Structure 1
């Protein structure tokens, strides 16, 4: 399978599931049966094999913590997917670069690329200081894609640094070396500043997954406004020697398909509420709250949490968001057509939204391939076995 950014005229889809673990509405850790986790993992792996057959060009695993997602270390799951699948690109979507030593991440990425036969796509996201994030991504990119990358001793592990106390710059090679000559690197980028940073370095970008409580729940940025930002990203990239196009960008989309628009929108909103309940309850229990205490009202009063916006946003707000593939088959097809007409060619589908059961997400994933856009999926589907 070609990389996600290759074959620019072909529309490609990436299957992304949140791997929701806690039973709907649950806040008590004792209700989270490990058998449920084992069942969820196995079901997800089986569905990824089927997604590859349906024509998903990539499979993405998030880095999420707490009971609302059973994926705190996505690279472990990517290694399992490397053994289960044969064609689809494996996308870390995304690793939070500031939570890990960058050279440790680089080693993990290289192992996954080798195990998968050269199918890894690195995805990195920022939580924290922008300058430090960019520095860490540069280190990861350099360690993965360039042998003997120069690294300051301060960026080495303590053991390695002990041998290089007098060196200003060390030459570091991360082993094993990846199969791909150049492992693709994607960063989550939404603002003009983050897009410009990615463009200067030639990084691919994930964009479009907008949750803005101040804008009625879901942000209302138009497709045209986002495309204009991306064209500036292309221009800056060209100024720095990089040929970038819409194939280097991926629209991240909440994806829920149901019989009616209203049903689909309510599934998304109910999932968010369940996610907040589980995550908020988990944090409250860690802080010593009683099991029966609901933290939702307290969280809603905190101005910077975004919870109040989720409470107040009507279900219809998810239908209005042009980057949310939420609705009936007909509605989602129309929204997808509008995005493709706007120039988008890569879509990372958060199937089921956040906080919904895995099976809900998988139903939407199959509906996308079989009912919404079968012709587009056919271009990247596995060939049918030949008769003997």
Structure 2
């Protein structure tokens, strides 16, 4: 099938599973059954095969560390997806570029593209210095999409740099070469500055998942404001020779469909709290804390962590967020219709939120295809 950005008038969905590992509410890593990991991996792969049949245009898994998700190196899972599926795009959602050597990431991405027959879409996110992140993405894209890419000696691995003496710039070729002539690159972007950077380079963008701890959790975000920013993104792209549209933009949405709005909202809220509890327990144990001794109160006092904001968020706050597809079938349908009317055409669905049981996410994924938007999924399936 074509890339996610092709066929701009067709609405496309990406199935994104968080693969929560810890039992809900558990703070003790010693209690977590390793066999659960194997079952989650297998179930996720089975679901992705079925998601492809439902009409999901893409399949994705995040890079998360600790019990909130057992995919600290998602490219391994992407390789498994490449051989288990046949048509859907394989989307890294997202790799944190500054935690890895960018050329190593480029090599991994190239392998996945070859394994999948040319279905990879690279997603990268920023954690740390903005300029360093942009430089890392430039290296990744250059390694994937140009045979010879000029790389400063300092950017090479120590082994590679050892072949150079007085040369300041090297020509690097990443092998294997990808199947695609150009592997799409998506970056997480929402601010004017991030969107402008992406536009100048012709990168696609993920936006949404608007979590503002300072505003008490999931904050009310103006769709109109975001659309205005995205129009400017397209304009800057055109000024730099790139033809960009809303098909180059994917709204990342927490997605929980339940019988009632209240039930769906409570699922998301409880999942976030469970995520914070289990993740803090994991990190505390890594730091040598006594089992069960999780300093949540201290973390909550540190405003930079966002812990207090998650605890303070009400269930209703998730219903108010226009980018959160949370609620009953009728509510989610209305939210999705509003986003489509505003111009959005690509949706990355984080099914079940974070911290919830795997089965909850899959129920929401199937509800989206069967009950919320069957016509849109049918149209997307026709293009697979």
* TM-score, normalised via structure 2 length: 0.98
Q: Deviations over 1:230-268 (max 9, x none)?
A: 001011111111111100000000000000000000000
Aligned to 1:309: 309
Mapped contact 2:145–2:183 kept (Cα < 8 A): yes
CA distance in 2, matches of 1:247, 1:381: 17
Mapped contact 2:28–2:292 kept (Cα < 8 A): no
Partner-residue secondary structure (3-state), 2:256: strand
Give 1:292 shift: 3.2
Partner-residue secondary structure (3-state), 1:87: coil
Give 1:344 shift: 0.1
Give 1:28 shift: 1.2
Mapped contact 1:257–1:364 kept (Cα < 8 A): yes
CA distance in 2, matches of 1:357, 1:332: 20
CA distance in 1, matches of 2:83, 2:234: 36
Aligned to 1:218: 218
Aligned to 1:242: 242
CA distance in 2, matches of 1:305, 1:172: 39
Mapped contact 1:10–1:345 kept (Cα < 8 A): yes
Aligned to 1:260: 260
Mapped contact 1:210–1:219 kept (Cα < 8 A): yes
1:280-299 map, 5 Å: 280-299=280-299
Q: Which residues of structure 2 form unaligned runs of 5+?
A: none
Mapped contact 2:281–2:292 kept (Cα < 8 A): no
CA distance in 1, matches of 2:262, 2:10: 31
CA distance in 1, matches of 2:383, 2:315: 39
Give 1:40 shift: 0.4
CA distance in 1, matches of 2:171, 2:118: 25
- Does 2:102 correspond to 1:102? yes
Mapped contact 1:53–1:382 kept (Cα < 8 A): no
Partner-residue secondary structure (3-state), 1:363: helix
CA distance in 2, matches of 1:334, 1:239: 35
Give the superposed CA RMSD.
Answer: 1.1
1:374-385 map, 5 Å: 374-381=374-381
Q: Deviations over 1:272-328 (max 9, x none)?
A: 000000011111222332223242222111111111111111100000000000000
CA distance in 2, matches of 1:317, 1:383: 36
CA distance in 1, matches of 2:303, 2:53: 45
The farther-off stretch of 294-303 and 150-159 is 294-303
Q: Deviations over 1:104-131 (max 9, x none)?
A: 0000000000000000000000000111
Partner-residue secondary structure (3-state), 1:163: coil
CA distance in 2, matches of 1:243, 1:255: 30
Give 1:61 shift: 1.1
Aligned to 1:62: 62
Give 1:382 shift: 6.3
Mapped contact 2:257–2:328 kept (Cα < 8 A): yes
1:1-388 map, 5 Å: 1-381=1-381
* TM-score, normalised via structure 1 length: 0.97
Mapped contact 1:153–1:165 kept (Cα < 8 A): no
Q: Which residues of structure 1 form unaligned runs of 5+?
A: none
Mapped contact 1:209–1:253 kept (Cα < 8 A): yes
CA distance in 2, matches of 1:5, 1:381: 15
Q: Deviations over 1:65-120 (max 9, x none)?
A: 01111000000000000010000000000000001111100000000000000000
Mapped contact 2:47–2:362 kept (Cα < 8 A): yes
CA distance in 1, matches of 2:162, 2:214: 49
CA distance in 1, matches of 2:294, 2:241: 54
Mapped contact 1:123–1:186 kept (Cα < 8 A): yes
Partner-residue secondary structure (3-state), 1:122: strand
The farther-off stretch of 365-374 and 153-162 is 153-162
CA distance in 2, matches of 1:56, 1:295: 40
Partner-residue secondary structure (3-state), 2:381: coil
Mapped contact 1:187–1:198 kept (Cα < 8 A): yes
Partner-residue secondary structure (3-state), 2:303: coil
CA distance in 2, matches of 1:198, 1:158: 30
Q: What count of residue pairs does the alignment treat as equivalent?
A: 384
Q: Deviations over 1:158-205 (max 9, x none)?
A: 111111121121111100000000000000001100000000000000
Mapped contact 1:15–1:59 kept (Cα < 8 A): yes
The farther-off stretch of 292-301 and 316-325 is 292-301
CA distance in 2, matches of 1:2, 1:159: 37
Q: Deviations over 1:345-381 (max 9, x none)?
A: 0000000001101110000000000000000000122
CA distance in 2, matches of 1:229, 1:295: 39
